[in-house]
Chain A
Amino acid sequence: MDQILFKHNRPDRVISFDEYCAESGFRALRKALTGMSPEEVQQATIDSGMRGRGGAGFPTGKKWSFVPRDLPGPRYLICNCDEMEPGTYKDRVLLEKNPYLLIEGMALAGYALGVEHAFIFIRRGYELAAENLRRGIVEAERAGFLGRDILNSGFSLSLEVHQSAGRYICGEETALMNALEGRRANPRAKPPFPAVKGLWGQPTVVNNVETLANIPAIIDKGPAWWKSQAATPDAAGTKLFCISGHVSITDCFELPLGMTLGEIIDGPCGGMRNGSNFKACIPGGASTPYFTKEHWNVPMDFDPVAKAGSRLGTGGIVVFDHNTCMVAVTLNLVRFFARESCGWCTPCREGLPLVQHILERIEAGYGEPPDIDILHEHVRHLNHAFCALAPGAMGPVDGLLRHFKDELSEHISGKCCPFRRDTTHTC
């Protein structure tokens, strides 16, 4: 397998524009603008089997095809670089090393979609990535890869970096559009979907950084080649996995999609940290239900992970060893989600703090058996929320209830967290 996204990376710094160009950078853009129609670019993306890397795994080419071509007024493309989900940091690593793949990818997507204005919505804290992007855009403009009449094709694209005041909810695509418009970052009702009525009421496509950064390779080397970089015949392409937790090497790796969880942990991660055993992991960012030892051989690809009861999500894997209290982990995550709730809808705004309090109680040894039922109820009820934050927030709780019921019960019956050694609480 070849690296696609990290191929150009310098170990200690960001790649320069000239280096990128020398390593066949912007070749795909040239190829598309001189020899392919926008429809062909979209078709190649469909053929590649690319599924969105932002969390939901929606087929990218299909999403593009929903954009109506006959509506009056502009269409927009937005790159989602809000990346605030705990455990996920792949977009940052990519952009700190190489902003040009994204810039070229957005030019290609813009061409396919007939977009003239595109935005990169980037989290406030990502100073270096934003700086790289701003510089890269200027360089690309100077070289004629952005701006008016790119490569004399008649296609024009302006690319703008918007460093947001950013919160987790800004990553939700409709909240993101509100934020970009200068409104409060509340999600919008769907339908209408952004592809039809998005930014300023116009057709809009929102894609993740990693999704867009892959388009140059799909166009340059062809969809079949790109797809074949995966580890299994069903998977397509490579994936950035960003690993944290109790493994020997925590880093962001570009790996073929479809490697098993065990292969990833024992391979690039160098196994578990000294003296610790694998207990569980978050397989794809904080909103995905836990995997346990029983999932060791699940191929890390969208469908197999879903079949195993979780989601591939963003590819942010957080590994926990045998000394980790899963109630505490869940509480930590729920606290994050409760804080980040936008406050719009009842189940999430009121429900998440309640779940948080219940977990706090259980963790502190004051839990009651009916608490478990209440947690179950909320896993269901938060599915009725306005946006995907709430169901995502219950991912870990769902995992806790499914895989660590005994551990939960132990907390309640023992009136104490079994993992707490430094406890002041007498139990």
Chain B
Amino acid sequence: MVNLTIDDKQVTAPKTATIYEAAKLNGIAIPILCHDKKLKPFGACRMCLVEVEQMKGRQIPACTTPVTEGMIIRTSTPDIVKARKMVLELLLLNHPIDCPVCDKAGDCDLQNLTYEYKVDANRFTDEKFHHEIDYNNPLIERDMNRCVLCGKCARICDEIVSFGALTFISRGIETKIGCEFDEALNCEFCGSCVSVCPVGSLLARPFKFKARFWSLTKNKSVCGYCGTGCNLTLGVKDNKVLTTLYDENQGFHNGQLCVRGRFGYQFINSDKRLTKPLVRKNGKLEEAGWDEALELVAARLKDAGASTAALATARLTNEELVVFKQLLQTAGCGNYDHSAGYAHAALTEGFAGSFGASASPSTILDIQKSDLLLVIKTDAYETHPVVGFEINMAVKNKGTLLKILTDKSGKLSKLPDARTLVHTPGSEIAIINSLAKVILDNKLVDASAAALPGYAALEKELAAFTPEAVSAQCGLTAVEIKLLASAYATAEKALILFPVGQAYPGHTAALANAVANLALLAGKLGKEGGGVLCLSEKNNSQGAVDMGFQAGIGAGRIIDGCADGSITTLFLAGENPLVSYPDHARVQAALDKVEFLVVSEMFLTETAAMADVVLPVCSFAEKEGTFTATDRRVQHIKPAIRKVGQSRSDFEIFGALIAKLGGVAPGTPASVFAEISATVPGYTGMSYASLGVEGQFAPVELKPAFVMPNAPAVTVEPGKLALVTGSALYHNGTLSQYGEGPMHVCPEGYVEISRADAAASRFAENDLLTVSSAGGSMKLKAHISARMPQGVVFAPYHFGANPVNQVWSGAPVTWITLAK
């Protein structure tokens, strides 16, 4: 700590603080325009000038100048005020001052500072800018006439997002922010630049002319898409969520979101939302009253008893899942699962065996504290972009080493010094076993490992996985495997990240076991910045695991049961298996066959359209409860708007059905959460109050053991291409199909092919290709990319109109052919 005097006040501040930070810590506000706490110091706008006595009273920027012992600082002498006014006058000189039609008005730093410094007249005159406005994409409007050249957009896109779409071009007064060759913006549309822009230069187009800033109610919430669990501020007016607003103090991610969180909120007030229950009459779904619909469902559940099964999406709240379980138990149903349990088998089976707990030992906060990150199989940026930001910052700011073991490279591979090992699809478990084998052979085993259960057996079973033997089938050399193993083993703090989810096949329990063995052998657990973090797909995937929403035969066999008649009644809560489960034909046949199908849904999805009863439910923005993020951060959500139409929360629906079945309906979400905190391991002692705004981590108690994974033999079908499925950057599950933002940018599925394969078959970008597998065939547009290895193709799953499960039947690798 250093001692300094700011405006005659004796204060202390950390040695590393800038004058701005020191002042802020001590409650003294210095105006800023180009400074952002997340970004590197910039010092360009000159609004934050202060005087330092030791520097002969010169005016220096507070935002870039570090404090030193004994500094005497003045933050607002008449000279300083004059200089700041001058800065504002200069900025306003060419600025259009079109606040009446600017969406930023009310939230604009330039406007607010102009007001604060009473710059009511400009002594100077000059021409206004005449930059062309970029309206070329549907999400972000770029009006450089309003730009104050704070550089925040370009800096965040480079420093944190690592896309690098924006930069300064030209010089002098002609300087402006532009894209490559001054072309239109074409990027990943995360909206980070929009968030940090202090003026109305970068605006969210979906929000244009929707509401004035001051007329919005700002409601805090948690993103309803992926398992990262980002915090959101929803801008609400007239019971509509009109936008997401940026709050730089929100969450571990400082308010930054990905394209889904930032621009995907439109599903909440989509006019496609179901507002009334539907009941099938004479083969057609017709609107019905709640009583009628619930009565029907209750009667059916009573009748069907044990032949009922249920599948829930991991987007329900913890409380809803608990109440759903209670309903099913009341009805005598013993088979239920969430989001196809296999999508989370890594957690439910894998980690349960290896760690004695179905949860990741590490958290997202470990990423920036790590010395080495090992990302396995699927690009964690694409599935979890905000986790990706953390990885970017670790690698770029902290020098964290990044190793990627994958069947196709992704955005993370472009980070400085990232080492990407691209292996043959399906060989990942063998490779990880081989890494473990190298650690054993090279005596890099941690002292703690030998005492763990299963050590001797592991040692024996790994004998077959020498790098030489594995390299023969995995597409990597033995040397590459050895180098990776020793880099991993010798890093002080090493963290393994791997995403899991529906249609990311191969992210199995065995993979989790292999990963866990590696981390345990090398002694990486239990250290800050080290360990293993499995990234779950949905906003409450981890919650669904923690709530134990899984019993009986499992999702796959539930579908089979429907087909063979052993299951007569199927209750789907928010689940859309026709699109997201493997083997479209099989699911279709099962749903055709099942006697009674109930679907609680926000939309008339492909699956809901087949139901006998459809119950309209509300979105996360309309309900109360808790979500558990991928790293067991439990967060509390409150309604941001009233329920849309007659929709009800799943909580209410399940409660009403329990009552109809003669059970005791649960009280409120709060009382169910109290129950959870009394019974669920790790949640003990939690309350809404203790969750606060930041949420609270449910600790994970580990009972580690070695579990030898089954490494499936790598198959190759000559003459065919290996199809790996998964998630596209712009989407998450099937929900994002109802987010206008994601759909604008990525409206349909595609098949991503390497340049070599495309050239060999003379496929061009956007050619409509027939994709054929043993399971079926479908048409997809070709997308040719540099990242795909030859012989491997990728297709995202999300799209109901043309789901990829028409050719994908659940195998880690699907062998296909492509034809024009």
Partners in one complex: yes
A189–B43 CB distance below 8 A: yes
Tell me, in angstroms, the Cα distance from A184 to B126 when the chains sit together: 27
Tell me, in angstroms, the Cα distance from A288 to B149 when the chains sit together: 29
Query: Smallest CB–CB gap between B545 and chain A, Å?
Result: 44
A350–B94 CB distance below 8 A: yes
Contact with B along A332-370 (1 / 0, CB 8 A): 000000111111111101111110010000000000001
B66–A191 CB distance below 8 A: yes
Tell me, in angstroms, the Cα distance from A384 to B172 when the chains sit together: 17
B46–A345 CB distance below 8 A: yes
B90–A346 CB distance below 8 A: yes
A347–B86 CB distance below 8 A: yes
A167–B171 CB distance below 8 A: yes
B171–A385 CB distance below 8 A: no
Q: Contacting A350 at CB < 8 Å: which of B83, B171, B173?
A: B173
B45–A346 CB distance below 8 A: yes
B59–A386 CB distance below 8 A: no
A189–B41 CB distance below 8 A: yes
Does B87 interact with chain A (Cβ within 8 Å)?
yes
A384–B174 CB distance below 8 A: no
Does B249 interact with chain A (Cβ within 8 Å)?
no
Does B442 interact with chain A (Cβ within 8 Å)?
no
Which positions 147-197 of chain B face chain A at CB distance < 8 Å? Answer: 148-149, 151, 167-168, 170-175
A340–B172 CB distance below 8 A: yes
Task: Please indicate the chain B residues that have their CB under 8 angstroms from the CB of A352 in the complex.
Answer: 172-173
A354–B124 CB distance below 8 A: yes
A344–B44 CB distance below 8 A: yes
Does A228 interact with chain B (Cβ within 8 Å)?
no
B149–A349 CB distance below 8 A: yes
A345–B167 CB distance below 8 A: no
Contacts A346-B90, A347-B86, A384-B83 given: A374-B175 contact, CB under 8 Å?
A: no
A347–B167 CB distance below 8 A: no
Count of inter-chain pairs, beta carbons less than 8 A: 89
Tell me, in angstroms, the Cα distance from A383 to B94 when the chains sit together: 22
Does A377 interact with chain B (Cβ within 8 Å)?
yes
Tell me, in angstroms, the Cα distance from A383 to B174 when the chains sit together: 22
Tell me, in angstroms, the Cα distance from A169 to B172 when the chains sit together: 11
Task: Please indicate the chain A residues that have their CB under 8 angstroms from the CB of B91 in the complex.
Answer: 346, 350
Which positions 95-125 of chain B face chain A at CB distance < 8 Å? Answer: 123-124
Contacts A357-B126, A381-B83, A384-B59 given: A349-B64 contact, CB under 8 Å?
A: no
B171–A340 CB distance below 8 A: yes
B167–A381 CB distance below 8 A: no
Q: Contacting A184 at CB < 8 Å: which of B42, B47, B123, B167?
A: B167
Query: Smallest CB–CB gap between B63 and chain A, Å?
Result: 9
A377–B126 CB distance below 8 A: no
A349–B66 CB distance below 8 A: no
Q: Contacting B46 at CB < 8 Å: which of A341, A347, A354?
A: A347
A354–B172 CB distance below 8 A: no
Does B93 interact with chain A (Cβ within 8 Å)?
yes
Task: Please indicate the chain B residues that have their CB under 8 angstroms from the CB of A385 in the complex.
Answer: 46
Task: Please indicate the chain B residues that have their CB under 8 angstroms from the CB of A354 in the complex.
Answer: 90, 93, 124, 126
Does B144 interact with chain A (Cβ within 8 Å)?
no
Residue from A167, A186, A342, A343 whose CB has the most chain B CB atoms within 10 Å: A343
Query: Smallest CB–CB gap between A223 and chain B, Å?
Result: 32
Task: Please indicate the chain A residues that have their CB under 8 angstroms from the CB of B41 in the complex.
Answer: 189
Tell me, in angstroms, the Cα distance from A241 to B447 when the chains sit together: 72
B59–A349 CB distance below 8 A: no
Chain B residue at minimum C-beta to C-beta distance from A183: B167
A353–B173 CB distance below 8 A: yes
Chain B residue at minimum C-beta to C-beta distance from A347: B46
Which positions 223-244 of chain B face chain A at CB distance < 8 Å? Answer: none
Task: Please indicate the chain B residues that have their CB under 8 angstroms from the CB of A384 in the complex.
Answer: 46, 49, 59, 83
Which positions 369-384 of chain A face chain B at CB distance < 8 Å? Answer: 370, 374, 377, 381, 383-384
Task: Please indicate the chain A residues that have their CB under 8 angstroms from the CB of B149 in the complex.
Answer: 343-344, 346, 349
Tell me, in angstroms, the Cα distance from A354 to B127 when the chains sit together: 10
Tell me, in angstroms, the Cα distance from A90 to B671 when the chains sit together: 83
Task: Please indicate the chain B residues that have their CB under 8 angstroms from the CB of A167 in the complex.
Answer: 171
Query: Smallest CB–CB gap between B125 and chain A, Å?
Result: 9
Query: Smallest CB–CB gap between A403 and chain B, Å?
Result: 25
Contact with A along B62-79 (1 / 0, CB 8 A): 001010000000000000
B171–A341 CB distance below 8 A: yes
A349–B126 CB distance below 8 A: no
Q: Contacting B171 at CB < 8 Å: which of A342, A347, A351?
A: A342
Query: Smallest CB–CB gap between A356 and chain B, Å?
Result: 9
Chain B residue at minimum C-beta to C-beta distance from A385: B46
A338–B173 CB distance below 8 A: yes
Task: Please indicate the chain A residues that have their CB under 8 angstroms from the CB of B94 in the complex.
Answer: 350
Query: Smallest CB–CB gap between A348 and chain B, Å?
Result: 9
B174–A343 CB distance below 8 A: yes
Besides the known contacts A341-B173, A346-B91, A347-B90, 7 further A-B residue pairs in the complex with CB atoms under 8 A apart: A189-B43, A343-B170, A349-B149, A353-B172, A370-B123, A381-B83, A383-B58
A-B contacts, 22 listed (Cβ < 8 Å) = A167-B171, A184-B168, A189-B42, A189-B43, A338-B173, A342-B172, A343-B171, A343-B172, A343-B175, A344-B151, A344-B175, A345-B44, A345-B46, A347-B90, A349-B149, A351-B86, A351-B90, A354-B90, A354-B93, A381-B86, A383-B58, A386-B43
